[in-house]
Structure 1
Amino acid sequence: MSADRQSGGPLPTALPIALDAMGGDHGAEPNVDGAVQAARTGVSVLLVGNRVTLHAELGKHPGSSKLPIDVVDASDVIGMDEHASDVRGRTGASINVCTRLVKEGKAAAAVSMGHSGATMASALLTLGRIRGVDRPAILTHLPARGGFTTLLDVGANADVKAAYLAQWARLATVYLKVLEDRENPTVGLLSIGEEDHKGSALVLEAHALLRELHGQGVNFYGNVEGNDIFKATTDIVVTDGFTGNVVLKLAEGEAKVLFGWVKEALTSSLPSRIGALLVRGGLRGLAERMDPSTYGASILIGVRGLAFIGHGSADARAVKNAVLRAARAHEANLVPRLEAAFGGA
């Protein structure tokens, strides 16, 4: 790999964010656009991918040569339809270059809108796990009453052990304390009923472990049900990656259908269209809260470095927000604080 500085640009004031600029459904265009938007706020970015393609995309953005953006050449990219295991033998793949930059201390975080499985595999193989964490998890935010609920795991681990859920509760607790200023966030265990005796064998075992952790770095509320996620009954909800991914996709899909129904209702007649003008501002704000691009990307929490995974369909706004979120996590020393919480700093 090699790096090219955009001539005339200022020297970065902090470690840059390594962006897998070739990843995602739409290739370089939204990645470069989002990176430029993030760089305009002062965040340094390394665009990782085909040098010629990335310079051509940067050329479409007036003034980009004066921004803290570098291009790091990567000869390969793992496509969305390829296997996650391909990261093992393709060292020149853009996501591998990104995680290697983090490992070598040349980047603060790796961000990818590309192959989620490949991103997880690359981060785990290159960065390793925080001592005391058996499996990293994907942590995301879902819009909920009064703000958002933090949900994990949403896809990294389909088959889990109860101990993983307890570890994720600890990780998420530190995350919310560090990045969201929530002093003593509550933790709920997703189940089919709020009663302690309800749930699968996994849930019952995890419940016992979380109850033991209560007051020792975890504020365990107890079992929560699916509707509690959106009522924000607890700050954090832990579950296995299979269930969490279903919840996430269901929530995102239902939001799209719901807004489709609202749009249809508000354009069905002249009185409805007049009413639509009156509520347009409120609906715009609601759409903003429910838009996944607001959060940009989800962190793979539990690895010894920062890695963020976004949607393959991400637009420039999502890329920008992902880069900003990664920079914020680095500035807050998230990984060292997670390691300290597990006694392995």
Structure 2
Amino acid sequence: MKLAIDAMGGDYAPEQIVKGVELARDQYPDIEFLLFGQTEKITPFLKSDQRIKIMQADEVIEMGDEPVRAIRRKKQSSIVLAAQAVKNGEADAFFSAGNTGAVLAAGLLIIGRIKGIDRPGLTTTMPVITKDDQDSFVMLDVGANADTKPANLVQYAIMGKYYAESVMHVKNPRIGLLNNGTEADKGDKVHREVHDLLEQEDELNFVGNVESRELLNGVADVVVTDGFAGNAVLKSIEGTALSMLKLLKTSIMNSGVSGKLGALMLKNAFGQVKAKMDYSQHGGAVLLGIKAPVVKTHGSSKADTIFNTIGQIKTMIDTGSVQNVITYFSEQNVKEETPAE
């Protein structure tokens, strides 16, 4: 198994990328790593080159670069060369903490989408905080496509089902449609149409509309939405969690000695809450609908998150999650092309 990794992407690259890769190298003896980037900047942080090969990339796509233009103009960038390695069969997956738009563009324009899928969707894993038998759920799309058609959302549901089954090991995952109410007739024309289409899919365990306030309570295993709403919900959840933790810390610091003593006694409980809300333990966001795993993790990711994301990618490859989607849509294409007798 070979992974093509953009070593120059992210706020703490290449140091934290290299550290995370070495943690994964020591944990997973069956993985080889191709680190794409500027050799002179990567080498000082590399303790051992065992199963790690540095691939020189003269250019770097910066966070502020326009994604598609950068992909087309910076042909020698770490993102482009890593994606090209996957396309050429030299690596099994592409991973970056860099420019999100450029990573998505590289996945779509270089590696290519699966035949039968109109628009790949960006998938993220979120925590469930109120149930003991469910620790997370997946949501897509969370930013790849702002405008979507009903058929795109149905495809998201199918891809989400296969991802939840293979990577999260959920049997017959519950599929929910993000909406402004749980009733079947809620939402705009598009959402009402999607609801009816999902109800007609016999292979999906569709549980109906779900509201954003219930997401962290485990109302579904897979939540389907358009990229605009999904991205807004994702950022709202992240922002609320950070703000609440900040508010709690400020309140404790301003509550005097008794408050600080109380916080000390509850240190373990606070630690459990922080761990439950820690997105990094779930890995990165996956661009589903591409011919190979394409994974983007947060720009502020450090070594532990890089390590967790590599574990996530390994599971995707081991379980054949992408191949399952390819097989499904290939069979659908055959059915559509075969004339009825």
Q: Is contact 1:299-1:309 (8 Å) kept?
A: yes
Q: Counterpart of 1:284 in structure 2: which amino acid?
A: G
Give yes or no for the alignment of 1:300 onto 2:287: yes
Q: Is contact 1:19-1:112 (8 Å) kept?
A: yes
Distance in 1 between residues matched to 2:37 and 2:164, nearest whole Å: 32
Give yes or no for the alignment of 1:259 onto 2:242: no
Instruction: Output aligned runs, 1:193-208, within 5 Å.
Output: 193-208=181-196
Query: Cα offset for 1:155?
Result: 0.3
Give yes or no for the alignment of 1:54 onto 2:38: no
Q: Unaligned 5+ residue runs, structure 2? A: 334-341
Q: Counterpart of 2:234 in structure 1: which amino acid?
A: L
Q: Is contact 1:150-1:237 (8 Å) kept?
A: yes
- Of the candidates 77, 82, 90, which is equivalent to residue 60 of structure 2? 77
Give yes or no for the alignment of 1:269 onto 2:256: yes
Q: Is contact 1:109-1:327 (8 Å) kept?
A: no
Q: Counterpart of 1:263 in structure 2: which amino acid?
A: K
Q: Unaligned 5+ residue runs, structure 1? A: 1-14
Alignment deviations for residues 70-126 of structure 1 (CA, whole Å, 9 cap, x no partner) = 111111111000010120232211111111111122212111100010000001111
- Of the candidates 117, 122, 140, which is equivalent to residue 138 of structure 1? 122
- Aligned residue number for residue 88 of structure 1: 72
- Work out the number of aligned pairs and report it: 324
Q: Is contact 1:228-1:234 (8 Å) kept?
A: no
Instruction: Output aligned runs, 1:169-208, within 5 Å.
Output: 169-208=157-196
Q: Counterpart of 1:322 in structure 2: which amino acid?
A: T
Distance in 2 between residues matched to 1:178 and 1:226, nearest whole Å: 25
Query: Cα offset for 1:265?
Result: 2.7
Instruction: Output aligned runs, 1:199-278, within 5 Å.
Output: 199-213=187-201, 215=202, 217-267=203-253, 268-278=255-265
Name the SS for the 1:82 alignment partner.
Answer: coil
- What is the alpha-carbon root mean square deviation over aligned residues? 1.4
Distance in 1 between residues matched to 2:265 and 2:71, nearest whole Å: 52
Distance in 1 between residues matched to 2:80 and 2:321, nearest whole Å: 22
Query: Cα offset for 1:25?
Result: 2.1
Q: Is contact 2:167-2:312 (8 Å) kept?
A: no
Q: Is contact 1:293-1:315 (8 Å) kept?
A: no
Query: Cα offset for 1:295?
Result: 1.9
Instruction: Output aligned runs, 1:16-165, within 5 Å.
Output: 16-42=2-28, 43-58=31-46, 61=47, 64-65=48-49, 67-85=50-68, 86-144=70-128, 145-146=130-131, 147-165=135-153
State percent identity of aligned pairs: 34
Distance in 2 between residues matched to 1:21 and 1:301, nearest whole Å: 22
Distance in 1 between residues matched to 2:173 and 2:315, nearest whole Å: 20
Query: Cα offset for 1:343?
Result: 2.5
Decide which moves more: 187-196 or 317-326.
317-326
Alignment deviations for residues 172-202 of structure 1 (CA, whole Å, 9 cap, x no partner) = 0011111111110011111111111110111
Name the SS for the 1:182 alignment partner.
Answer: coil
- Aligned residue number for residue 337 of structure 2: none
Distance in 2 between residues matched to 1:272 and 1:70, nearest whole Å: 52
Distance in 1 between residues matched to 2:209 and 2:282, nearest whole Å: 26
Q: Counterpart of 1:68 in structure 2: which amino acid?
A: R
Query: Cα offset for 1:244?
Result: 0.4
- Aligned residue number for residue 283 of structure 1: 270
Q: Is contact 2:127-2:279 (8 Å) kept?
A: no
Q: Is contact 2:283-2:306 (8 Å) kept?
A: yes
Distance in 1 between residues matched to 2:272 and 2:85, nearest whole Å: 38
Decide which moves more: 261-270 or 328-337.
261-270
Q: Counterpart of 1:285 in structure 2: which amino acid?
A: Q
Query: Cα offset for 1:285?
Result: 2.0
